[in-house]
Structure 1
Amino acid sequence: MQRIEHRACFGGWQDVYRHHSQVLGCEMNVGVYLPPQAADAPCPVLYWLSGLTCSEQNFISKAGAQRYAAEHGIILIAPDTSPRGDDVADADGYDLGKGAGFYLNASQSPWAAHYRMHDYVVDELPAWIEARLPATSARAISGHSMGGHGALVLALRNPGRYRSVSAFSPIVAPSQVPWGRKAFTAYLGDDSRAWQAWDASVLVAHAREKLPLLIDQGSDDEFLQEQLRPELLQQACALAGHPLQLRMQPGYDHSYYFISSFISDHIAHHAGALSE
């Protein structure tokens, strides 16, 4: 573990660590915000999963989340969005390969060698965080766009691991939209039945834990109609009786201006669950 950034922020510390991931087979950067309360006692953890083209830097530099994490005494963990390195497979375009890990475990060559972001976020990263930082085992998860997809899927696939889940502008039905179909075909193969295990709109029908879903979606999001389609998750939750709070926010787009406008609500939502 190597700390490569260390900055005072709202009474705590915004750090970035670099470590070797056994699961991914490469070096990974992870943003870590330690609130001031962490100097005295272990704190609960909120994992943030960023979207396409992002790294660990986008959330920690644009969302303004540290202020609210400091108020509630929550550690923020922001991993990179994919494995990195010269020997890691990549592709042309922004929506496949590096920066586009989709938080799944790839089964197809050449991706399967490194693209196991599900296991990294769910298992390896928390073990690393809880062993080396003043963190409790109380976890929450959130994310944006591709990372919103990741947050929903990881929470639905792993009952009991997270106290709460939320998302901004998530890809809720990747099996039915171009971003998801492209990624799933590459990472998982042509059989669409294999895709269902990574699709939130499918997983809610069989969820063993009715963890409430909080979603904020901008009504002026440029990707709303083609790529995000929150109505598909809304319909699936209604059929399954799964609790969903979908808040359509007039005038907001897909950017971090949107996230920074409502991140305080999400952190307060998670703080309530993490304190139980």
Structure 2
Amino acid sequence: METLSIARSFDGTQGVYRHRSDVCQCDMTFAVFLPPQAKDGPVPVLWYLSGLTCTHQNVMDKGEYRRAAAAHGVAIICPDTSPRGDHVPDEKDNWQFGSGAGFYLDATEAPYAANYRMASYIAQELPALIGANFPVDMARQGIFGHSMGGHGAITLALKHPGRYRSVSAFAPIARPGVAGWSRPAFEKYLGTDEAAWRAYDSVLLIEDGHRVPELLVDQGKADGFLDDGLRPWLLEEACRHANIPLTLHMRDGYDHSYFFISTFMADHIAWHAVRLGSS
């Protein structure tokens, strides 16, 4: 693991790191914010998964999470959104596929299957690296994310019961298998047999019996992707049928941007902190 940068912030440290990923067969970059409480012992971990076109950098620059994370004593881990490199297959002119658009799944179709294994990377390889190198308590993990990352956070939590004590999302893609901006990517990564897509669809995972203790979702009513890409009412209906407590905030006037995310970031971190036993 290589340290790319370290900066002091709110008496904690914001670091950026790079390592060789065996899972994704490329170098991967990620960010870690350690709150000041980490000097005294392991702190809880909160994973933040970013959306389409993003890297680890977007939420670092615009998410405004460090003040709240420092106040509550929570480490924030910000992975990249996809494998990257000259040898990694990509579609340079398609922002909804390839680099920046890994959809937190394990691809099964050539030529993408060798590198696009973000589900295994986030669930297995990167946690092992984090646990071995940082003062964190891996028994107290939460996960959240935005848009594609909200989809990833919810699906990972549903498929790994007991691992994440808390899960929330900003404007998650509720049904990526039918949404206009994700269905083509699913076909390329997973093939045309839609039965294979169920493992990466929050609504269908809930229909298939997967559960989380509760969910928190914030969604802007002025989000231009609301009707075609996001459709939180489908997640709301699935949770109601499955008796999963869902707190869904529909926020007047807010769009899909980091202006929206940063407005409610502190609320989400405080919500997770309670469930992670750090507040």
**TM-score normalized by the length of structure 2:** 0.97
Residue matched to 2:133: 132
> Given that residues 96 and 182 in structure 2 are in contact (C-alpha distance below 8 angstroms), is that contact kept between their aligned partners in structure 1?
no
Could you list the per-position Cα deviations for residues 172-220 of structure 1 after superposition, in whole angstroms to 9, with x for gaps in the alignment? 1111211221111010001111111110011112344432011000000
Residue matched to 2:40: 40
Could you list the per-position Cα deviations for residues 117-148 of structure 1 after superposition, in whole angstroms to 9, with x for gaps in the alignment? 00000111111001110011111000000000
Residue matched to 2:23: 23
Distance 1:31 1:189, change over 3 A: same
Residue matched to 1:243: 245
Distance 1:182 1:45, change over 3 A: same
> Given that residues 164 and 212 in structure 1 are in contact (C-alpha distance below 8 angstroms), is that contact kept between their aligned partners in structure 2?
yes
Distance 1:24 1:253, change over 3 A: same
In structure 2, stretches of 5+ residues that fail to align are none
RMSD across aligned positions (CA): 1.0
Separation in 2 of the partners of 1:209 and 1:95? 28
Residue matched to 1:85: 85
Residue matched to 1:3: 3
Residue matched to 1:173: 175
Separation in 2 of the partners of 1:275 and 1:77? 18
Residue matched to 2:50: 50
When structure 1 is superposed on structure 2, of 207-216 and 6-15 the one drifting more is 207-216
SS of 2:177 mapped into structure 1? helix
Separation in 1 of the partners of 2:63 and 2:117? 26
Task: Judging by fraction of residues, say which structure has more helix.
Answer: 1
> Given that residues 211 and 244 in structure 2 are in contact (C-alpha distance below 8 angstroms), is that contact kept between their aligned partners in structure 1?
no
Separation in 2 of the partners of 1:207 and 1:121? 22
SS of 1:113 mapped into structure 2? coil
Aligned residues: 276
- Name the aligned partner's letter for residue 111 of structure 2: P
SS of 1:100 mapped into structure 2? coil
SS of 2:122 mapped into structure 1? helix
Distance 1:243 1:206, change over 3 A: farther
SS of 1:139 mapped into structure 2? strand
Separation in 2 of the partners of 1:201 and 1:241? 13
> Given that residues 50 and 56 in structure 2 are in contact (C-alpha distance below 8 angstroms), is that contact kept between their aligned partners in structure 1?
yes
SS of 1:112 mapped into structure 2? coil
**TM-score normalized by the length of structure 1:** 0.98
Separation in 2 of the partners of 1:135 and 1:89? 34
> Given that residues 88 and 115 in structure 2 are in contact (C-alpha distance below 8 angstroms), is that contact kept between their aligned partners in structure 1?
yes
Residue matched to 1:223: 225
Separation in 2 of the partners of 1:105 and 1:82? 11
Could you list the per-position Cα deviations for residues 230-262 of structure 1 after superposition, in whole angstroms to 9, with x for gaps in the alignment? 111111111222221111000000000001100
Separation in 1 of the partners of 2:202 and 2:111? 25
Moved over 6 A (4+): none
When structure 1 is superposed on structure 2, of 234-243 and 102-111 the one drifting more is 234-243
Residue matched to 1:118: 119
